Amino acid sequence: MSKKMSRTLLEKIEVLDRVKMEPRGTPLRELARRLGVKKSTLGDIIASEMKLRHTASSLAEGDVGLRKKRDRKGKDPQVEHALLLWFQRASTEGQLLNGPILKAKAESLARDLGKPGFTVTDGWFSRWKARNNIVYRLLPGELKTAAVEGADTSSALLSSYAADDTYNAEETGLYYRAAPDGSLYFHRTVLSGVKRAMDSIALMVCANMTGSDRRKLLVIGKSQCPRCMKGVDLTVLPVIYKANKMAWMTRGIFKDWLMQWDTELVEQGRKILVFMDSAPCHLPIPTLENICLELIPPDTTLIQPMGQGVIRNLKLSYREELRKRPLDAIEGNVISPHATVGEVVRHISLLDAIGMVARAWESMKPKMISDCFAKAGFVTGDAAPCTEAEGRTSAEAEGERQITDQFLDIDADLLCRDPQDHEAIVTEAVAAERLLVENDSDSDSEENEAPSVTAGTALTGLREAESFLLKSGLYGKCSNALHDIVASIRERRHTDLVQSDLREVFNKKV
């Protein structure tokens, strides 16, 4: 009995290319003999040529998918494929990705694909990485050199604007209810074994080089009208509040924020320079009149002044007040002195967090901000290093020692901006699911069609047409058009099914 042999997608494409080089009309048995392939296997490969070539064309050169012998699917191929698409695009954009970011994105994509029951476990995530040959690597040292070079290339722009008119803006995520492991005001035995509250918001932090102008914080939550803000006039808040379901910075929010600022500057007759990184949600806006937006390349994160200590100081100040909050609640008889962490954080609303983070931002000293710009290379000459506790009182320094680095950096990896067009990824994943190839040369199972008579009949006819084109040598001229027709019919079939379901629901109500 001959040994069972599986071929990779790349090997199957090579077989198809060699078939085209053989004389037209060569019997299948003779082709199989010349190519050293079983007759039944060769027949399966030829019959699946359209799907094989479509899959190969969607993969980049060197992609692990080209080397797979079998298409091993996880618990939900659609979600896995959507996450892989997103990962490939974000990597191409130079985004720094890690486990927490990818897991959060997987959950988000699953919800948008209509799979709310999908759960991201460590085991599933490890297997997904292994299936797609994804590994964690440290960034090479050359990136640091690139960062310095990136700062030098902006020197001409810097010399054209005064320090007061040169700004940097950057987003950061904040777990606004996260409490430290221990507290001066609670017995540790009461606090142990309780998970931290991971309710998050995103912040846009922006200030000028001298620290004299700290722009009103942009806070992005998950609800447009949270219960705690019922009846609150959002225009009087000490921050600008926006919302979306992921609490992420999006292209729309970014554009609105920048256009509103530009309008203010036009009225003031003032022109400024704003440095930001080139995240996908940071799009150039040609209609800006008084703002020169300079987008830093993705490998120059070291020249982001807000990331040189400003954001960390902001979070330190916020968490110092958060640490004292339980005592205020106890003294005000809002909570019991024996309350658990869960009971404490329930009394910290989003509105409370907005007030605390706004006060923390107002407490940032101009010199600290200007030192962080200097640390990032935005000024010439010798500049004092940015110190994270500079100018704090002894009591504040004591509070800083209470807040461990682990607690302070708990949300360092929290995703706070959408690195890709979310809707496009979901749409592409749904379309790709219809065309998934079962890369197993020993399998002869056919894909089941949806129970739509008209679309099913059309697709059956197209399969017969595909067979005719392959046998007559006309496939190469018509394959792209044939694929487009198949994809269009399948999409129309999906739309018809959705509309049919809606009509059924409506008729039942009537």
pTM of the model: 0.55
DSSP state of 214: B
In this prediction, residue 379 carries a pLDDT of 64
The yes-or-no verdict on residue 263 having pLDDT over 50 is yes
All residues at 6 or more sequence positions from 402 whose CB lies less than 8 Å from its CB, including other chains: 180, 184, 323
In this prediction, residue 96 carries a pLDDT of 64
All residues at 6 or more sequence positions from 84 whose CB lies less than 8 Å from its CB, including other chains: 132
Average pLDDT over residues 37-41: 87
Number of H helices, E strands in the chain: 20, 6
Strand partners, 294: 275
Sheet strands side by side (includes 291-296): 240-243, 218-221, 200-208, 166-175, 272-277, 291-296
pLDDT more than 70, % of the chain: 65
Average pLDDT over residues 81-87: 84
pLDDT band at 74 (very low <50, low <70, confident <90, very high): low
49-58, 152-161, 216-225, 462-471 — most confident range: 216-225
pLDDT band at 298 (very low <50, low <70, confident <90, very high): low
Please give the biggest Cα pair distance in the chain.
91
In this prediction, residue 51 carries a pLDDT of 81
The yes-or-no verdict on residue 141 having pLDDT over 60 is no
DSSP state of 308: G
| pLDDT tens digit sequence for 385-402 | 444 444 343 334 444 444
The yes-or-no verdict on residue 382 having pLDDT over 70 is no
CA-based nearest residue to 299, from 278, 317, 318: 278
All residues at 6 or more sequence positions from 431 whose CB lies less than 8 Å from its CB, including other chains: 487, 491
C-alpha 199/C-alpha 181 separation (Å) is 17
Q: Which CATH architecture has domain 77-132?
A: Orthogonal Bundle (1.10)
